[in-house]
Chains A and B, each alone.
Chain A
Amino acid sequence: MRRQMHGFGGRFKDNKPEADLVTLVQLKSGQSGTVVDIQGGRRMTDRLNALGIIPGKKITKTSAMLMRGPVTIEVDRVGVAIGFGMASKVTVRPGRVP
């Protein structure tokens, strides 16, 4: 928990993942991408899985609310709102959705 407080960049430096990966929170509104990884407990992955948010899925970010508010995305033509904490654990590779 503490580590997250210091910013999301820290974790990436430690683990040396690909440089172009961002979290759903960092992805810009209007930008598309592919879900790469979901770093969360079983409960969280289950809930995201139920809404079709799984690694490999193409998504487009619609908006983000201020003050650590939820992120809204579009998955398979359906809108989904994801709480800030959860959204910060979903890693995405930005890129155009065909």
Chain B
Amino acid sequence: MTRILLMGNPNVGKSALFSRLTGVQAIVSNYPGTTISYTRGYMKLGEETAEVIDVPGTYTLEPTSEAEEIALRLLESGDIVINVANAINLERNLYLTLQLLERGIPMVVALNLWDDTRHRGVDINLEKLEKSLGVPVIPTVAITGQGVKELAENIPRATSPTHPPTTRDERWVTIGKIIEQVQQIRHRHHTWRERLADASVKPLSGGFIALVILAASFFIVRLIGEGLINYVLDPLFNTLWSPVILKLSQLMGGAGFLHDLVIGKVIGGELNFVESFGLLTSGLYVPLGVVLPYIVSFYLVLGILEDTGYLPRLAVLMDTIMHRLGLHGYAIIPNLLGLGCNVPAILATRILESKRERFIAATLISIAVPCAALQAMIFGLVGARGLGYVAIVYGTLFIVWIILGIILNRTVKGFSPELLIEIPPYRLPPWRTVAQKLWLRTYGFLAEAIPIILGAILVINVLYILGVFDAIANFTAPVVTGLLGLPKEAVTALVIGFLRKDVALGMLAPLALSSGQLVVGSVVLAMLFPCVATFVVMLRELGVVNMLKAVGIMIVAALATGGLLNLIL
């Protein structure tokens, strides 16, 4: 089968074009490095079906990061390249175009963001550009789909004109000549969007804008999350699902192994969806009634932030602070993604250049950045005791994030390069991509989390019945009770935390903990052991040795922090 590669600089719209060509939905954002591994899809090429691959963005074929190395490896397997170039910044984009031409692989150029050229004052003579490069050049607007049909029709015209390999300086000379022939720039005045863009990377105005945006984001996430819980999901569960379950409980005789497995504990004819721990009660309520609303609200807000192009600016503002943690500003993006789910966050550390940075970032994320599922449960359970306690949990995790980062920066050997990123222009979020992304991420959560949650609840019930938890509880009592001040039964929650942190926190609910104990439990659960999905991705991304190191740091940090909190609270 013919394999078509979509290649180009970061943030030129490869993923948007990919979605248009193949109908496969891919996550599209307005910052360089959204795609860190590749996505595959298929399209019709005449009579045949061709495979299309959305390759991570790369500036050059001399890779400077993991994502760029992936791009280079993929290039060797391709038959045709669609080189996606940014029409606004032809000069720099042509550098990769020339490198690709030197490879002698059949190619078509998609000149994307074509709609922006007019108001940015850029005039490109397409015929002359085609002639200079020797390959078809098709103007496209991937977000709206303009030009995509023409691009698809022109793929069979892909050619590989002979361009002998040259040096870096020679390439820039060639580009200079091409640009002189094909491009004219008209002077124009700054737009309000550009003024805002400038203001958001200036120290004072930028700091102010960042505070407003982050505070507003937090507020909106909570507003939508709580709104969905209070006005949609709780009423649904309480008025519709509850009677069904109570009836089923009666039918099953109100007790017994199967009853406890499916429905869990029913106390005095009352159901507690968090505490009952049956498959049809907690097993559905935790993922759908508590976590889902926050997944939806978090990813909606994140999606908007991603598509406006604000995140790289936040990276600039955070750079000085992140340097103290052995990272540079761009590492704020994987950390923010971690507030949704640690798995894509750890994958996103591929945008960082060095092994050292990736180790520090992945370790910090897995220890001190709680995922949305856990946060939803923290809001639900700890929030019921007062928002002050929620603030203690978040404050503690933030302090751990800072202190641990400083320690890792001082102790981990290696080299952390400096920030060097492209800052995209602000755009109004295209609602279609925002909605598409929200759906992809929500679906991803439902498909991956629900089976694991149901599995976890099954395992919990079986282990209870077998008495395994009692054995573990007695064995670990000195640490759990002595150091953390929690009842020894709490250890079951810490063990289950390995499967799902949201379910695990739910296990603390029936233990009648004091508010202080609940805070200690939440913090330790957040820090100790990543869930199994995060564990696997860390193993893959960091390797066995570094993953074990991270886990060691995790255990020490979690117990130290938990012990300290226990003394204070």
Contacts and interface: CB of A to CB of B under 8 A. Distances in A.
Interface of A: 29, 43, 46-52, 54, 62-70, 72, 75-86
11 contacts: A29-B202, A46-B64, A47-B64, A48-B420, A62-B201, A64-B203, A65-B317, A69-B317, A77-B120, A82-B418, A86-B418
Interface stretch (B89-97, B370-378, B427-435): B89-97
B237 interface: no
Q: How large is the interface on B (under 10, 10 to 19, 20 to 34, 35 or more residues)?
A: 35 or more
A34 to B, nearest CB: 14
A51 B419 contact: no
Given A54-B172, A72-B423, A81 B203 contact: no
Given A80-B422, A81-B419, A72 B316 contact: yes
Nearest to B315: A81
Contacts of B122: 77
A35 B172 CA distance: 14
Interface of B: 59-60, 62, 64, 86, 88-92, 95, 120, 122, 168, 172, 185, 197-198, 201-203, 206, 312, 315-317, 319-320, 328-329, 417-425
A79 B197 contact: yes
A85 B420 CA distance: 11
A43 B60 CA distance: 13
A80 B421 contact: yes
B89 A81 contact: no
For B60, B120, B168, B418, which residue has the most chain A Cβ atoms within 10 angstroms? B418
Contacts of A75: 92
Contact of B316 (A52, A54, A70, A85): A70
Contacts of A81: 201, 312, 315-316, 319, 329, 419-421, 423
The residue among B89, B95, B197, B316 with the most chain A CB atoms within 10 A of its own CB is B316
Contacts of B315: 81
Contact of A80 (B329, B417, B420): B420
Residue in A29, A54, A64, A81 with the greatest tally of chain B CB atoms within 10 Å: A81
Contact of A47 (B86, B90, B316, B420): B420
B60 A76 contact: no
A29 B423 CA distance: 16
B419 A50 contact: no
Contact of A69 (B86, B91, B316): B316
Contacts of A77: 88-89, 120, 122, 185
Contact of A46 (B60, B203, B421): B60
B12 to A, nearest CB: 11
A46 to B, nearest CB: 6
Contact of B320 (A29, A63, A67): A67
A65 B172 CA distance: 31
Given A65-B317, A69-B203, A83 B89 contact: no
Contacts of B419: 70, 81-83, 86
B117 to A, nearest CB: 10
Contact of B328 (A51, A66, A83): A83
Contacts of A64: 203
A63 B194 CA distance: 13
Contacts of A69: 203, 316-317, 319-320
Contacts of A49: 60, 95, 168
A75 B198 CA distance: 14
Contact of A79 (B90, B317, B424): B424
A66 B321 CA distance: 11
Rank and list the top 10 A-B pairs by shortest CB-CB distance, nearest first. A83-B418, A50-B59, A79-B423, A52-B92, A83-B419, A69-B320, A63-B202, A78-B89, A81-B316, A50-B60
Nearest to A80: B422
B423 A65 contact: no
A51 B312 contact: no
A71 to B, nearest CB: 9
Given A46-B60, A52-B95, A72-B201, A79 B420 contact: no
